[in-house]
Structures are given as structure tokens and as C-alpha cells.
């Protein structure tokens, strides 16, 4: 049996990508914000396996995941499964920790399990997954999670699994806000006898609970519970903001770019 190798991620390439990613996110989001309390409760040993699994509301999810990994888990290398055909088309993604999977065949599913296990066993890594298997609105909780994640959890002996809820909302500014909230870490060693079906149910319940909690925070429209990881743009745009700035000069009022008070 051939050895399963962990995909190599060139540091120079990944570092260059993040020099591009942060300003790119700042141009497109007013904030990328993480619920402070859930962030403080993560606590994991970088040498232990860690899987972060979340809902899949947007095209932005892989970029946000890579940014969150660099910002919150700097001692861990990002890895994430991606459709093998997409990886062939965008081969540069392989240099960022993405690895190809074909979940529509038995051999592809087996290869996914072996590759993911090898990555987790390598240490100082994080595997990010979106087990819904499709784009879904944050309020859509009907999709069953694909079985691969539960299978991996049932075979692991230690480490943690961490639910992550994501939402993209428009509040008071022209640009959207990306909100993120982690659920309670699930310690693998606490459930040594849990079956794949039981894992699948627990993982689903914990993810949906985390989504519900983030939804409540989004409805409240307050940035107080969140830490903003970027300083994104605010205002209505260059031309209108220029007019507003001139008007403030003539009226002798302080010009404020922000329309609201979130993330000031």
C-alpha cells in the first residue's frame, strides 16, 4: 500500500497570498468579525488534530476560512478538501493547502478519508470542511451533512472538532459584514464509542445551534459582541463622500465616513 503524502504548501507562496488577501478583504467588506466569547473558548493544542466544519453560504467561504486560519490559528497549516476537477482547473490552490477529492465514487471517498487522516496525523494542521456539500442560506438547516466528516471523527482517537457558523450581512454601511461564530469544541476522546450515525447527528445539531446563535446576533445588528479582524472600508463611495466632506467643511461639522456606529 502506497504511503499517503501530506500536500506540500510553499511558505513563500502562501505568505504572498496573504499579503494580497487582507487588503482584498478590506476592499470588499466593512468588517470580518468573530464572536468574541466563542473565540476565547476555542483553546486547542496546535499539535493535536483539529477539524473546523461550517455552513456554506457563499463563494467567499474558502477565502474567509484561509484568513481566519492565519489570524486565529497561526501555528497551524490550513488544509481543505475541494472538488478534484476544480483543483485541476485552478492548480495554484494546491499551493495554499487545498487537496482534491472525488466524493461521487467509492474509491474517491476512500482516498478523501486517507488523505484527510494523513493531514491530521501530521500535526500542527487544521482541516476546514463544509459538509453541507452545497451552497445554502444560513437559515436553511434542512440539508443533512455528508457522511465523510462523521466517518473521520469515528476513527480518530484524540483532537477536536469545532463548528463554525458564517453569515454575510448588510448593516449600516455600503459594504457587507462577514460574521463568524464558533461553537463549543467537541473533544474526540470524550466519545470513544460513538458510532458514525451518532457522530453525524451530534455534528449536525451543534452546527445548527451555532448558526442559530449567530443568526440572533446578526438580527441584533450590534458589533459589540464581535472582534473585527480587519479595518474595512466605510462610507458611500468616493464621489458622494467627497460631497459630504465639502458640506461638512462649510457647515463646520465633523465629517464621519461611517453611517453607523458598528466597528468604530
Q: Which residues pair with 227 in a beta bridge?
A: 34
**pLDDT tens digits, one per residue of 16-39:** 999 999 999 999 999 999 999 999
**pLDDT tens digits, one per residue of 108-156:** 889 999 999 999 998 899 999 999 989 999 999 988 899 999 999 999 9
Alpha helices per DSSP H over the chain: 11-28, 36-40, 61-72, 84-89, 106-121, 147-155, 196-220, 238-251
pLDDT at 232: 55
pLDDT at 105: 86
Ordered DSSP codes for 79-101: EEEEEHHHHHHTGGGGGGTEEEE
Q: Give the pTM.
A: 0.88
pLDDT at 46: 86
CB neighbours of 30 closer than 8 A, spacing ≥ 6? 171, 173, 174, 175, 176, 177, 232, 233, 234, 262, 263
Share of the chain above pLDDT 70, in %: 88
**pLDDT tens digits, one per residue of 50-84:** 999 999 999 999 999 999 999 999 999 999 999 99
What confidence tier does 237 reach under pLDDT thresholds 50, 70, 90? very low
Q: How far apart are CA 21 and CA 64, in angstroms?
A: 9
Examine the pLDDT at 253 and tell me if it is beyond 60. Answer: no
pLDDT at 78: 98
pLDDT at 218: 97
3 grid coordinates: 504511503
Question: Which domains occur in the chain, in start order?
Answer: 11-230 (3.40.1130.10), 234-264 (no CATH)
**pLDDT tens digits, one per residue of 209-229:** 999 999 999 999 999 999 999
Q: Which of 91, 83, 74 is nearest to 56 (CA)?
A: 83
Amino acid at each position: 500500500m502506497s504511503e499517503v503524502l501530506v500536500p506540500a504548501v510553499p511558505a513563500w507562496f502562501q505568505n504572498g497570498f496573504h499579503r494580497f488577501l487582507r487588503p482584498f478583504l478590506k476592499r470588499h467588506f466593512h468588517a470580518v468579525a468573530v464572536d468574541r466569547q466563542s473565540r476565547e473558548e476555542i483553546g486547542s493544542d496546535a499539535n493535536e488534530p483539529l477539524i473546523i466544519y461550517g455552513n456554506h453560504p457563499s463563494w467567499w467561504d474558502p477565502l474567509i476560512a484561509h484568513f481566519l486560519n492565519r489570524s486565529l490559528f497561526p501555528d497551524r497549516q490550513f488544509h481543505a478538501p475541494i472538488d478534484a476537477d476544480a483543483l485541476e482547473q485552478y492548480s495554484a490552490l494546491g499551493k495554499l493547502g487545498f487537496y482534491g477529492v472525488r466524493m461521487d465514487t467509492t474509491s474517491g471517498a476512500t482516498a478523501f478519508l486517507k488523505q484527510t487522516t494523513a493531514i491530521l496525523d501530521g500535526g500542527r494542521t487544521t482541516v476546514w470542511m463544509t459538509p453541507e456539500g452545497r451552497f445554502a442560506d444560513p437559515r436553511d438547516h434542512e440539508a443533512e451533512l455528508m457522511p465523510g466528516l462523521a466517518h473521520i471523527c469515528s476513527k480518530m482517537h484524540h483532537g477536536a472538532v469545532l463548528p463554525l457558523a458564517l453569515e454575510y450581512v448588510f448593516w449600516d454601511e455600503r459594504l457587507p459584514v462577514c460574521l463568524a461564530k464558533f461553537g463549543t469544541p467537541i473533544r474526540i476522546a470524550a466519545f470513544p464509542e460513538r458510532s458514525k450515525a451518532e457522530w453525524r447527528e451530534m455534528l449536525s445539531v451543534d452546527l445548527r445551534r451555532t448558526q442559530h446563535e449567530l443568526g440572533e446576533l446578526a438580527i441584533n445588528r450590534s458589533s459589540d459582541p464581535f472582534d473585527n479582524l480587519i479595518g474595512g472600508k466605510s462610507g458611500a463611495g468616493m464621489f458622494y463622500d467627497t460631497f459630504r466632506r465639502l458640506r461638512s467643511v462649510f457647515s463646520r461639522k465633523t465629517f464621519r465616513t461611517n453611517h453607523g456606529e458598528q466597528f468604530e
